[in-house]
């Protein structure tokens, strides 16, 4: 936080002195769209955490007699799937794996990518060139292709899908981290700290980190929506979670055969992915404008 | 500018080398013996050893990489394990299908994206602008494989207007086109949102610049101003479109799976589930090459189109 205080001195003092994050929160609070999106995400997370209490039935209990019941059948508010399992319960439980698979790679990539990017940006020179050229290579693959190629080669499975998605996002985050760090490194306050005898680690820890993590964080949040779509997409292809675990992408895949029998039922898991993805996109947009002090 | 172009081309070489290294590594990060899908379960040790030598797996990694790269440069990407046909032949056939789909999708996406974006940027903060922004958020948030399913549900399962899957090339060009409509429309949603967002920002920015005020002050008609705005926004918008085409080419696997479209995505899907590693490797390599070269072309064309870009 010391870094923010220093920055505040350099700029004309605002009418009422507030911390940087307090300002972000104040601006975010005035953005009804971002708040709405945040509430939707909070509800989804609560739904995932408390799934056993919220869901009316066991998401794994199959019944050959009750297959593909339409939406609104007695006992099956959202119908039943191709194995007679309760759709509503599966959608609720599906939030667990889907959110986990969508968010985890971005969190992992945030730490790894920031580390690589800040190192490259702070050290500069040859190390920077070496790191950034390596990252360019991974950048040369479209995200979907790289994710499918890696998890296809590694083989189906939850762990492999998470690794592949993390590898997809690390270069993207590292690029942003490098750009921001290079920018911050040249600022006067870093120069001043160096002149007053601060060591490299102290400068990175106190002055660089405090100023670069914000923008990297905003960028990372904007990736969650993409990550959700990609993660469920891998499951949709059969490369992520395995049956019978409820996961929205996988459910969409297994219900594909049912589109002529129960068309709207088959589309339901996608609605959940869509809602989640929109909410994360809108929240990321709101966060970006709230953190952009220039606006 | 020539110096810039030369440097840009030279800079692409290490990228291409890196990309081929990643593709080469794909086979070796795969768990288990890369020969497992070729070998019969009861293969003798001698046969295993003979095949290992035949495929070159007994050599060191650098040696294998150089040999693989050398063959790839001559257009030999190995033999598909599942079909026994050369990988190059399989991939090129599939690329044709994917390319046609991606081109149509890019055209649709660019047309509507540019239209929405332009109107939104021109009438900023109006209802149209809000609508266009909403559409572009929906466009980038939608899981496109699900959208494909929904379109199949509406136009094939319920209305019965369009065929749900396949390419229908036996039925002549009209049938082919009918089969292409749903996957292309599904695919077009991705670039549509991104193009709309870019064009909106561009137009809003251009309209605020001094020269537009100058044009209006000298009494130019709205149509005249419009032409200037288009001219200024075009290079960036076209660049975005070019990049999007590359993303669609590489990212079509999910949509092709939904529609059983016989392109590279479908091939990739088959390669993954039959553990056909040479085919997987070859398809990825070709798609990534397309993407790198397209990026290069976009840069070159943009530099040529836009004299303002000073690239030292």
Residue B197 CB partners (closer than 8 Å, separation 6+): B117, B136, B140
Chain position carrying tokens 């495929």: B55
Report the C-alpha gap between B193 and A19 in whole angstroms: 36
Nearest to A107, CA basis, from A99, A118, A97, A119:
A99
Structure-block tokens of residue A129: 């060139």
Q: Band the pLDDT of B311: cuts 50, 70, 90.
A: low
Q: Is the confidence at residue B186, as pLDDT, over 50? A: yes
Q: Band the pLDDT of B64: cuts 50, 70, 90.
A: confident
In a domain, A15, yes or no: no
List Cβ<8 Å contacts ≥24 apart for A196-202: A200/A122
Residue B257 with chain A: CB contacts under 8 Å = 236-237
Chain A residues with CB-CB distance to B under 8 A? Answer: 133-134, 136-138, 140-145, 148-150, 152-155, 225, 229, 232-233, 236-239, 249, 252, 256, 259-260, 263-264, 266-267, 269-271, 273-274, 277-278, 281-282, 285
Report the C-alpha gap between A160 and A231 in whole angstroms: 11
Residue B258 with chain A: CB contacts under 8 Å = 256
Total domains in chain A come to 1
In a domain, A108, yes or no: yes
Rg (CA), chain A: 23
Task: Mark yes or no for CB contact A270/B143 under 8 Å.
Answer: yes
For each of chain A's 295 residues, which pLDDT tens digit applies?
A: 444 444 444 444 444 556 777 888 888 888 888 899 999 999 999 999 998 888 787 787 777 777 777 777 777 777 777 777 888 888 899 899 999 999 999 999 999 999 999 999 888 889 888 999 899 898 888 889 999 999 988 888 899 999 999 999 999 999 999 998 888 887 888 888 888 877 777 877 877 888 888 889 989 998 999 999 999 999 999 888 888 888 998 988 888 888 888 888 888 899 999 999 999 999 998 888 888 754 3
Given this model, what pLDDT does residue A224 score?
Answer: 94
Please list the residues that pair with B275 across neighbouring strands: none
Residue A21 CB partners (closer than 8 Å, separation 6+): none
Nearest to A274 among B27, B143, B250 (CB): B143
In a domain, A71, yes or no: no
What is this model's ipTM? 0.86
Report the C-alpha gap between B205 and B232 in whole angstroms: 10
Largest CA distance in chain B: 87
Residue B27 with chain A: CB contacts under 8 Å = 153
Report the C-alpha gap between A10 and A4 in whole angstroms: 10
Given this model, what pLDDT does residue B273 score?
Answer: 85
Structure-block tokens of residue B213: 């005020």
Give the side-chain half-sphere CA count within 13 A for B33: 14
Q: Band the pLDDT of B46: cuts 50, 70, 90.
A: confident
Nearest to B143 among A143, A150, A233 (CB): A233
What are the pLDDT digits (tens) for B103-134?
A: 999 999 999 998 888 888 888 888 888 888 88
What are the pLDDT digits (tens) for B268-279?
A: 988 888 888 888
Q: What is the mean pLDDT of residues B75-84?
A: 80
CA distance A68 to chain B (A): 16
DSSP for B113-171, written as a single string: HHHHHHHHHHTTTSHHHHHHHHHHHHHHHS-HHHHHHHHHIIIIIIS--S--SS--GGG
CATH number where A86 lies: 1.10.3720.10
Report the C-alpha gap between A247 and A264 in whole angstroms: 18
What are the pLDDT digits (tens) for B220-274?
A: 877 888 888 888 888 888 888 888 888 888 888 899 988 888 889 889 988 888 8
Comparing A160-164, B48-52, B288-292, the range with the smallest average pLDDT is B48-52
Task: Mark yes or no for CB contact A259/B152 under 8 Å.
Answer: yes
Given this model, what pLDDT does residue A170 score?
Answer: 95
Q: What percent of chain B has pLDDT over 70?
A: 94
Task: Mark yes or no for CB contact B143/A273 under 8 Å.
Answer: yes
Report the C-alpha gap between B39 and A63 in whole angstroms: 41
Report the C-alpha gap between A262 and A69 in whole angstroms: 8
CB B161 within 8 A of CB B114: no
Given this model, what pLDDT does residue A257 score?
Answer: 82
Given this model, what pLDDT does residue A10 score?
Answer: 47
- For A264, the domain range is 30-56+78-290
Report the C-alpha gap between B55 and B35 in whole angstroms: 9
In a domain, A36, yes or no: yes
CB B129 within 8 A of CB B200: yes
Nearest to B26 among A144, A153, A259 (CB): A153
Nearest to A272, CA basis, from A223, A237, A231:
A231
Phi and psi for B130 in degrees, rounded to 5?
Answer: -60, -40
Q: How many CB atoms lie within 10 A of CB A271?
A: 16
How would you label A151-184 residue by residue, b for 16+ Cβ within 10 Å and e otherwise? bbbbebebebbbbbbbbbbbbbbbbbbbbbbbeb
Task: Mark yes or no for CB contact B157/A148 under 8 Å.
Answer: no
Residue A281 with chain B: CB contacts under 8 Å = 137, 140-141
CA distance A108 to chain B (A): 20
Task: Mark yes or no for CB contact A142/B251 under 8 Å.
Answer: yes
Report the C-alpha gap between B172 and B234 in whole angstroms: 36
In a domain, A18, yes or no: no
Q: Domains of chain B (ranges plus CATH)?
A: 88-311 (1.10.3720.10)
Nearest to A68, CA basis, from A236, A248, A266:
A266
Q: Is the confidence at residue B87, as pLDDT, over 70? A: yes
Report the C-alpha gap between B244 and B105 in whole angstroms: 10
């Amino acid at each position: 936080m010391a870094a923010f205080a220093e920055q505040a001195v350099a700029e004309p003092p605002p009418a009422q002195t507030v911390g940087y994050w307090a300002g972000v929160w104040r601006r975010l609070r005035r953005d009804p769209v971002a708040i709405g999106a945040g509430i939707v995400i909070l509800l989804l997370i609560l739904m995932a955490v408390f799934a056993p209490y919220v869901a009316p039935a066991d998401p794994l209990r199959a019944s050959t007699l009750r297959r593909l019941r339409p939406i609104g059948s007695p006992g099956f508010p959202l119908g039943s799937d191709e194995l007679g399992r309760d759709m509503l319960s599966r959608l609720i439980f599906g939030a667990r794996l889907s959110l986990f698979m969508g968010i985890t790679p971005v969190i992992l990539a945030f730490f790894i990518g920031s580390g690589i990017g800040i190192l490259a940006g702070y050290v500069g020179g040859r190390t920077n060139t070496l790191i950034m050229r390596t990252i360019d290579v991974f950048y040369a693959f479209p995200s979907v292709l790289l994710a499918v190629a890696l998890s296809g080669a590694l083989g189906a499975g939850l762990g492999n899908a998470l690794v592949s998605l993390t590898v997809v996002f690390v270069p993207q985050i590292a690029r942003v981290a490098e750009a921001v760090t290079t920018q911050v490194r040249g600022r006067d306050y870093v120069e001043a700290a160096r002149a007053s005898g601060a060591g490299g680690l102290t400068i990175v820890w106190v002055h660089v980190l405090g100023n670069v993590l914000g923008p990297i964080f905003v960028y990372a949040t904007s990736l969650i929506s993409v990550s959700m779509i990609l993660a469920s997409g891998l499951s949709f292809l059969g490369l992520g979670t395995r049956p019978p675990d409820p996961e929205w992408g996988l459910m969409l895949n297994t219900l594909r055969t049912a589109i002529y029998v129960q068309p709207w039922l088959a589309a339901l898991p996608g609605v959940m992915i869509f809602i989640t993805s929109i909410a994360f996109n809108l929240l990321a947009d709101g966060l970006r404008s709230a953190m952009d002090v220039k606006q | 500018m020539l110096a810039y172009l030369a440097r840009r081309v030279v800079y692409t070489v290490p990228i291409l080398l890196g990309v081929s290294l990643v593709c080469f590594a794909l086979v070796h990060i795969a768990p288990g013996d890369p020969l497992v899908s070729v070998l019969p379960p009861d293969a003798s040790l001698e046969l295993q050893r003979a095949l290992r030598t035949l495929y070159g797996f007994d050599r060191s990694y650098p040696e294998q990489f150089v040999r693989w790269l050398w063959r790839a440069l001559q257009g030999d990407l190995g033999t598909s394990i599942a079909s026994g046909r050369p990988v190059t032949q399989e991939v090129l056939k599939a690329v044709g299908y994917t390319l046609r789909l991606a081109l149509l999708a890019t055209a649709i996406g660019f047309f509507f994206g540019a239209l929405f974006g332009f109107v939104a940027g021109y009438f900023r903060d109006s209802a149209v602008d809000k609508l266009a922004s909403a559409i572009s958020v929906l466009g980038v948030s939608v899981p496109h494989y699900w959208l494909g399913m929904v379109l199949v549900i509406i136009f094939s399962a319920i209305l019965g207007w369009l065929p749900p899957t396949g390419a229908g090339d036996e039925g002549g060009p009209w049938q082919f086109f009918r089969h292409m409509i749903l996957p292309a429309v599904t695919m077009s949603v991705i670039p549509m949102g991104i193009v709309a967002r870019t064009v909106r920002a561009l137009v809003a920015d251009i309209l605020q610049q001094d020269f537009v005020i100058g044009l209006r002050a000298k009494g130019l008609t709205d149509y005249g101003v419009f032409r200037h705005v288009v001219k200024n926004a075009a290079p960036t918008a076209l660049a975005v479109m070019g990049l999007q085409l590359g993303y669609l080419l590489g990212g079509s696997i999910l949509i092709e799976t939904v529609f059983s479209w016989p392109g590279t995505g479908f091939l990739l899907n088959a390669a993954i589930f039959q553990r056909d590693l040479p085919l997987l490797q070859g398809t990825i390599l070709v798609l990534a090459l397309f993407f790198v070269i397209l990026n290069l072309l976009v840069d070159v064309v943009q530099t040529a189109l836009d004299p303002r870009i000073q690239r030292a």
